[in-house]
Structure 1
Amino acid sequence: MSRDTAIRKNTFLQSLKVLYYSLISQHLKELVPIIYTPTQAEAIANYSHLFRRNECLYLMFNEQDTMERDYLEQTRGRDVDLIVCSDAEAILGIGDQGVGICTAKSSIYSLIGGIDPFKCLPVALDVGTDNQELLNDHLYVGWPQKRVRGEKYDQFIDKFVQIVRKYHPHSLLHFEDFGVTNAHRLLERYRAEHACFNDDIQGTGAVSLSCIMAAVGVTKSKLCDQRIVVYGAGSAGLGIAHQLRDAMVATDGVSPLDASRKFYLLDKYGLVKESLGPSRIRDSLYESGFVSPDAEWKGAMTNKKGEVGLLEVVKRVKPTIMIGCSTQAGAFTEDVVRMMGQGCERPIILALSNPSRLVEVDPANANLWTDGRALMATGSPFPPARMPNGKDYHIAECNNALIYPGLGFGAVLCQSRRMTDTMIIAGAQRLASLSPALKDPDDSLLPDFDDAPKVNFEIGVAVAEQAIEEGSAGVEWKKSEVKQKAAERLWRPVYGEYIYDPEGEQA
């Protein structure tokens, strides 16, 4: 391309439209980082300055009286299978952006998951912003007010969700980039009454679960045997912990309480433990069961505020798995990684923060500090790390796009009224079973991104099969029929064939 920066390539691709899907599908590995992570964060941060035309359904808080009419105008004459909505409070790496655009997310559902783009509806839920820089920007296209919270916020979101349920009861409702105070709460509020999915919680959790299942396969152990440190207890970190715990319960038969004791979460106050108190522990963390009892940390080294840091946690816990989703660049220091390497033979390190400049550890360094023993994955693409034996270790890209499009396709395919935990685990297990590392322990923990469409097709089939087995599906198929039904439903960016008929022209 003649465009010399990622953001200029992003805007160029967005302008193509007709050729967009066909071009990107032929160059997935090269172009997905341009239209999605990590470039999309820059595109959203500069949205008001790059704005050309509205590309989604835009619903503003102070115009909610016309919400139903606006929704119907946007969806008239369309079958809607997928709705991706965002209030843009917590866009990974850049935070509150006021107006979130979900076109990239829904495009990935089409490119990789095979969902017809005409049946996808991106929705911007504008409830204001607390980003003062945006409020001071005279070009800002969003509602220039402080972010609405509390009961009024809940009423606005509920009005939107009930409209979706009224007109498209079989659709998948995807929550994207909601803040930590709302993400878990909204998912739990609505998931029992509609097929809801939060990629920051469940997508990140599912792909991380797949990655860890593959790594556990390499070490020939069980998921319930692991000791897990999660550095960054926001929506993503808590979502990963929940997903791993649920999988331990479902696959290894341990109790939720015993599974919770395998986890040690850290946030800006250090280890999440009882003595931090309600002022420093969010309700969602108390409800999760991941708060460490103080009795286990007597004699631990703390700072002046009584907080236990990462190095001390690693020293005492001897984790087999360390997961970073903190956006704290370099947080997994040499001391931390070497200490972890002393406690287990094959340390499993997932440094998942995006973009790559915010990663907790460069995988090349983690490889060096563990003498090539680490099993690794990152949230953004990284080059291979050289092993002591001279081989290149290919770093798995723990990218949500390796799983969430398939999860969505499976739910849409079988018309499920719910996205259950067991459906997600079934999809994660199918992805883990495709890991190259299961054939060669020094290979990548996850499939290459070029194979994402084929991988997500398999995930979608697994999800639909599980829904049928557990009675969550809205179709009356046999499990043996699912793969054929999925192949028939799959959308691909292929132009129709047009035949020139000179006689017809003369007529």
Structure 2
Amino acid sequence: MKNLRGKALLTDPAHTKSTGFTYAERELYGLRGLLPYDVASIDKQIERVLGSLRCKNSTIEKYIFLNALLERNQRLFYRTMIDHIDEIMPLVYTPTVGEACSEFAHIFRNAQGFYISPEDRGEIATILKNWPEEDIRVIVVTDGERILGLGDLGANGMGIPIGKVALYVACSGIHPAQCMPVMLDVGTNNIALREDPLYLGYPYPRLNGDAYRSLVDEFVKAVQLRYPSALIQFEDFLSPHAFEFLDLYAQKVRCFNDDIQGTAAVTLAGIYTSCRITKKKFTDLNIMFLGTGSAASGTAELAVDAFRAAGLNRSQAQKRLWFIDRKGLVTARNENIKPRIKPFAHEHAACSFVDAINEIKPDVLIGATGVAGTFTEAVISKMSSVNERPVIIALSNPTSHTECTAEQAYHWSNGKVIFASGSPFNAVQFKDHLFKPAQGNNAYIFPGIGLGIYASAARLVTQSMFLAAAEVLASTVSEQEIHSGSVYPALSRVREVSHAIAVAVCHVAIREELTSLSLPEDISGYVRSLMYEPNY
């Protein structure tokens, strides 16, 4: 405990047990007189935490309370989150984190994470030494330009890396001291933020062009020097930058983009599972995307890999995938097609969204627009008329930006739909059936990927790792969960899922010769031994 004693130990968030210190420990560490008489177990402390939490009247108040707990007692925070993850995760991350980011400067209490501004240019490697931990294995970094569906939130976007780090710890057991949230605070074009007297970020228009790219490059190179074992997770960058940095660095350093690859894997897993319900063959599916951003195009690219792994050639795989934009069906005749969408712009007459569904008859409809209400009753009804069991995946979050709600999907389809979403929804009673819609939460994927990279020391993160993760996730869904309308496992089993994904990542790293480690024969046991358990 770093020779901590007395008040210093009691107030150190990583090492305190608060009232959990035993009488012997109180004597040993100079704590006598500094605590009430009772020695409270961690379970009793969790009971107290939950009682206080449930008295809060709003989700943002609960977020602030939990954040304060994290700053005060790490082990108690993570034990509470792990044991009550269904209740806590929506408060720590989606959907509450959207509101928390919007209000970040106004609810700020204590500094968390690491901030880099244009004024740090040329000195990033030096200032990284100010971070107190040496053995960093995961870095979650954003520039705040495309926070969820909320847009440019500048430095307020730090709430995203902080939340993702919490999920790494809770969902896959990477130690909190080995995780680092980073904000590349390059300014904001959100004028309201810049004019907010409480705004804490770099109060200038966004850096762009070569000046922006060179700062990102300096950061990536500085990480290689300071933390050579670290995985970099790019988070909530604007789509063009997201793809640019992924293409630039994916073959050079350990990195991935969760909005592109994590979303793709969790969505693909949902599609795999849906085939167990519809009894359709995966290679026979037609998949349609509403939206042409990073989540949609990333999912399409991983789906191509999945189709190819199942026996189709690239051309056949691409023809299974279709895109809708604001003007309707994206076809080969369209002008100004995004480069990553071109392989999916097929020969077809121009038509509206609903007409495209009628003509192409997609088995799966995926929304990644960030625009609420784009899956209208006409869209859901048409999907239901061309499918016995239509698969609808509304990825956009927070909840206020989702393409349709679970209740709308079930009612408009007369209970036929297989529904999943990026935001959580409560169970829906429709006629005599209680549906428990699944959340396509990236927390099922990225923590396991990170743990697998940590365990294997793989030099790179590859698409085949995300394909393996999707297969593992789909395989964990029980028949009971499927019967309730869910295409994902219960969130309470997320650590089990992360462990299985990490083991699969290790096998991919070995197969693709991406590691120089001599991994033990019992890879499962080895991965399990690395997983942090927050107990006293």
Q: CA deviation at 1:437?
A: 4.3
> Secondary structure of 1:491's match?
coil
Q: CA deviation at 1:438?
A: 7.9
Task: Give the conservation status (yes or no) of the 8 Å contact 1:170–1:416.
Answer: no
Q: CA deviation at 1:358?
A: 2.1
Q: Which amino acid aligns with 2:497?
A: V
Cα 1:120–1:321 change in 2 (3 A) is same
Q: Counterpart of 1:158?
A: 217
Cα 1:438–1:186 change in 2 (3 A) is farther
Q: 1:172 aligns with which of 213, 231, 235?
A: 231
> Secondary structure of 1:266's match?
strand
Runs of 4+ in 1 over 6 A off after TM superposition: none
Q: CA deviation at 1:15?
A: 1.1
Larger displacement relative to structure 2 (78-87 or 364-373):
364-373
Task: Give the conservation status (yes or no) of the 8 Å contact 2:81–2:88.
Answer: yes
Q: Counterpart of 1:505?
A: none
Task: Give the conservation status (yes or no) of the 8 Å contact 2:128–2:226.
Answer: no
Q: 1:456 aligns with which of 491, 495, 498?
A: 498
Q: 1:196 aligns with which of 255, 259, 263?
A: 255
Q: Which amino acid aligns with 2:296?
A: G
Q: Which amino acid aligns with 1:41?
A: G
Q: CA deviation at 1:204?
A: 0.8
Q: 1:485 aligns with which of 509, 518, 526?
A: 526
Q: Which amino acid aligns with 2:97?
A: Q
The CA distance in 2 between the partners of 1:128 and 1:440, in whole Å, is 45
Unaligned runs of 5+ in 1: 301-307, 496-507
Q: CA deviation at 1:433?
A: 0.4
Task: Give the conservation status (yes or no) of the 8 Å contact 2:134–2:227.
Answer: no
Summarize the alignment of residues 207-356 of structure 1 with structure 2, pairs less than 5 Å apart: 207-250=266-309, 252-278=310-336, 281-286=337-342, 289-293=343-347, 296-297=348-349, 300=350, 308-356=351-399
1:358 aligns with 2:401: yes
Task: Give the conservation status (yes or no) of the 8 Å contact 1:437–1:445.
Answer: no
The CA distance in 2 between the partners of 1:222 and 1:392, in whole Å, is 27
Task: Give the conservation status (yes or no) of the 8 Å contact 1:231–1:324.
Answer: yes
Q: Which amino acid aligns with 1:129?
A: T
TM-score (norm 1): 0.90
The CA distance in 1 between the partners of 2:471 and 2:446, in whole Å, is 13
> Secondary structure of 2:222's match?
helix
Q: Counterpart of 2:80?
A: 23
Task: Give the conservation status (yes or no) of the 8 Å contact 2:113–2:182.
Answer: yes
The CA distance in 1 between the partners of 2:149 and 2:481, in whole Å, is 35
> Secondary structure of 2:523's match?
helix
Q: Counterpart of 2:109?
A: 52
Task: Give the conservation status (yes or no) of the 8 Å contact 1:330–1:360.
Answer: yes
1:468 aligns with 2:522: no
Larger displacement relative to structure 2 (154-163 or 370-379):
370-379
> Secondary structure of 1:377's match?
strand
Q: Which amino acid aligns with 1:78?
A: E
Q: How many residues align?
A: 476
The CA distance in 1 between the partners of 2:404 and 2:485, in whole Å, is 19
Q: Which amino acid aligns with 1:45?
A: S
Q: Which amino acid aligns with 2:316?
A: D
**1:121-168, Cα deviation, whole Å (9 max, x unpaired):** 111101111111111112211111111111111111111111112232
Q: Which amino acid aligns with 1:92?
A: L
Task: Give the conservation status (yes or no) of the 8 Å contact 2:265–2:466.
Answer: yes
> Secondary structure of 1:277's match?
coil
> Secondary structure of 1:174's match?
strand
1:37 aligns with 2:94: yes
Task: Give the conservation status (yes or no) of the 8 Å contact 2:331–2:345.
Answer: yes
> Secondary structure of 2:256's match?
strand
Q: CA deviation at 1:441?
A: 4.4
The CA distance in 1 between the partners of 2:131 and 2:339, in whole Å, is 37
**1:34-62, Cα deviation, whole Å (9 max, x unpaired):** 11001111111111111223211110013
Task: Give the conservation status (yes or no) of the 8 Å contact 1:436–1:443.
Answer: no
Q: Counterpart of 1:133?
A: 192
**1:301-344, Cα deviation, whole Å (9 max, x unpaired):** xxxxxxx4311211111110000111222211222112112212
The CA distance in 2 between the partners of 1:223 and 1:153, in whole Å, is 42
1:373 aligns with 2:416: yes
Task: Give the conservation status (yes or no) of the 8 Å contact 1:205–1:241.
Answer: yes
Larger displacement relative to structure 2 (454-463 or 90-99):
454-463
Q: Which amino acid aligns with 1:33?
A: P
1:418 aligns with 2:460: yes
Cα 1:442–1:108 change in 2 (3 A) is closer
Q: Which amino acid aligns with 1:338?
A: S
RMSD value, Cα: 1.7
Q: CA deviation at 1:239?
A: 1.5
Larger displacement relative to structure 2 (166-175 or 31-40):
166-175
Cα 1:369–1:57 change in 2 (3 A) is same
Q: CA deviation at 1:442?
A: 4.8
The CA distance in 2 between the partners of 1:443 and 1:353, in whole Å, is 20
Percent of pairs identical after alignment? 34
Q: Which amino acid aligns with 1:3?
A: K
The CA distance in 2 between the partners of 1:161 and 1:65, in whole Å, is 13
Q: Counterpart of 1:116?
A: 175
Summarize the alignment of residues 380-459 of structure 1 with structure 2, pairs less than 5 Å apart: 380-388=423-431, 390-437=432-479, 440-459=482-501
The CA distance in 2 between the partners of 1:467 and 1:490, in whole Å, is 19
Q: Counterpart of 1:8?
A: 61
> Secondary structure of 2:383's match?
helix
The CA distance in 2 between the partners of 1:222 and 1:165, in whole Å, is 44
The CA distance in 2 between the partners of 1:91 and 1:269, in whole Å, is 25
Q: CA deviation at 1:20?
A: 1.7
**1:185-218, Cα deviation, whole Å (9 max, x unpaired):** 1111101111111111111111111111011132
Task: Give the conservation status (yes or no) of the 8 Å contact 2:234–2:256.
Answer: yes
**1:424-476, Cα deviation, whole Å (9 max, x unpaired):** 11111111001124875454111111111122111111221222222223421
> Secondary structure of 2:116's match?
strand
> Secondary structure of 2:515's match?
coil
